[in-house]
Structure 1
């Protein structure tokens, strides 16, 4: 007695079984990447607002000096006043001090935008969160400048033992004796915007981005070296205290915590603006029946099929 063999499915029917059901982790919704024409104005507006706010946050000189001396005294008590020996090294060794001055005056304004552009082009999925983190931290830094104007070490009386290396080596660069501002434009900068140090904060952000999104040993090494070197530079040039640098790192941590709530709020606002009341009838049901043609609630076009109680009736309304 022959054992019946199960019928083999027709190859022609294999193509009509519908799409293969995949696991939920594979059905990721398509997300449109960032657009440069919306991102560029946003970055420019935020940076312009930050720059203007930084200028308006200028505090009284006596208060700023008092805050600077208080920080220096606290560092002495804790044994973390590293800026004084570093400043002596940078001052006495031009081969160290001059490159440090160039780094302080330029990298802060070049590396950060370059990494933003790199993320935008090569890592679009991580760009929006990274940009929001940077912006939130920058706004927190602006609050710090406003609440606590601080005199940097280079502006203290000479008796405190600090030398302004950028003023000492100004003939080698484009800056004068007023921080990293070009000669003659010192009035366009707030020299008491030292606490927290956003030089260190932005450098830390750059390091994290390189570590998370970069590939290869070189980028990983730069991810560690850039924030570390920036911290040494801001202290050695007498532009910041060590506590300024530490506050810059803490500011970035706080900005990271605020980035996700800020993104959620932005998404809700965007969704509300995109929602259009046009074409929505009673009960939230759309009454648009064709491109650009609308009917009021309860109105029918001859020949239109209804989806009410007689959903299964295919008889045109005009012949009933």
Structure 2
């Protein structure tokens, strides 16, 4: 068997085992497996959560002095731990447009393209795992929003020039749509939170995509791309001076925490839904079919008490008249009779 076919068969078997395990768990608890959610309800939910997330980022803006202090503290910790990979990557991307320009496009676009694409793919092709994946993403995003609020952090690109960082997106702004203000379109920089660096949800969402693609994709190439995606995004966010390395680590921690909270959150949501359904009063019975409302039932005549019961095995078709054994009807022909003879005897009809 070719290697790609064998890998595809293993992935299919793995998904089948997981789906059967989920079904068995539902059977043991007496609950039916959850049906596929409605696409329009899911779209409205995702838009609502993302709008709340974007509004929360704007409201969570910290003052500049606090954000700069947090950014410098992170930089000192990284230097002490010898984790400062931002400086060499930033110099490489700034001095090599063939690396810096594609990295800027990756940072400004893939975050908003790959994540929704993976979510839609899970909805259409991995429906049994979609609800858990969606809740995982939303919980981790809310945790990230809490991080922006509690720890506003200035990204490396906004530090003073003496700290040795260059904003590659501003440096190569003539190639893209973002202008001089990070990944926001030109003129819309004031509508973004420039101090939402800790944790890095660019890395967190990329890790979410990578785990789902590695876990549920059946093509080996797609699985490898899924595994490489968070690594590429981590290098890009550091090389473009948009995040520190510890921001990327915090993004992975946030996604891990969201994954741990997904199971309990689903159980709480299921119990709440069951309680709401149980508390809803049933005011009316089941509605009859529309055709039954206009159907007149057939009137069957009552049985006469004098009529004898009829046998279905040997029905009488003579109108209630029976003959005794050997009796003949007048004029009935027998096998030996001729046209000139009567059926009652063998004498000619004229002699009678």
Q: Which residue of 1 aligns with 2:89?
A: 86
1:112 and 2:115 equivalent?
Answer: yes
Q: Which residue of 2 aligns with 1:207?
A: 210
RMSD: 1.8
2:40 to 31, 37, 42: 37
Q: Which residue of 1 aligns with 2:181?
A: 178
C-alpha change, 1:158 and 1:120, in structure 2 (3 Å) is same
C-alpha change, 1:164 and 1:31, in structure 2 (3 Å) is same
1:240 and 2:282 equivalent?
Answer: no
Q: Which residue of 1 aligns with 2:19?
A: none
Once the two structures are superposed, residues 241-265 of structure 1 have per-residue CA deviations (whole angstroms, 9 ceiling, x without a partner) of 0000000000000111111111112
Q: Distance in 1 between matches of 2:119 and 2:69?
A: 37
Q: Distance in 2 between matches of 1:50 and 1:110?
A: 17
Q: What TM-score do you get using the length of structure 1 for normalisation?
A: 0.79
Q: How does 1:65-104 map to 2 (within 5 A)?
A: 65-104=68-107
Once the two structures are superposed, residues 76-134 of structure 1 have per-residue CA deviations (whole angstroms, 9 ceiling, x without a partner) of 00000000000000000000000000000000000000000000000000000000000
5+ residue gaps, structure 2, are 1-22, 289-352
C-alpha change, 1:50 and 1:290, in structure 2 (3 Å) is closer
Q: Which residue of 2 aligns with 1:315?
A: none
C-alpha change, 1:277 and 1:238, in structure 2 (3 Å) is closer
1:227 to 227, 230, 245: 230
Q: What TM-score do you get using the length of structure 2 for normalisation?
A: 0.72
Q: Distance in 2 between matches of 1:147 and 1:260?
A: 26
Once the two structures are superposed, residues 206-254 of structure 1 have per-residue CA deviations (whole angstroms, 9 ceiling, x without a partner) of 0000011101211111111100000000000000000000000000001
SS of corresponding position for 1:275: helix
5+ residue gaps, structure 1, are 1-23, 281-287, 293-320
Q: Distance in 1 between matches of 2:25 and 2:192?
A: 51
Q: How does 1:1-320 map to 2 (within 5 A)?
A: 25=24, 28=27, 29-279=32-282
C-alpha change, 1:119 and 1:239, in structure 2 (3 Å) is same
Q: Distance in 2 between matches of 1:147 and 1:291?
A: 54
SS of corresponding position for 2:51: helix
Post-superposition shift, 1:26?
A: 11
Post-superposition shift, 1:275?
A: 2.7
C-alpha change, 1:271 and 1:178, in structure 2 (3 Å) is same
Q: Distance in 2 between matches of 1:186 and 1:249?
A: 26
Q: Distance in 1 between matches of 2:224 and 2:47?
A: 30
Q: How many residues align?
A: 262
Q: Distance in 1 between matches of 2:264 and 2:185?
A: 38
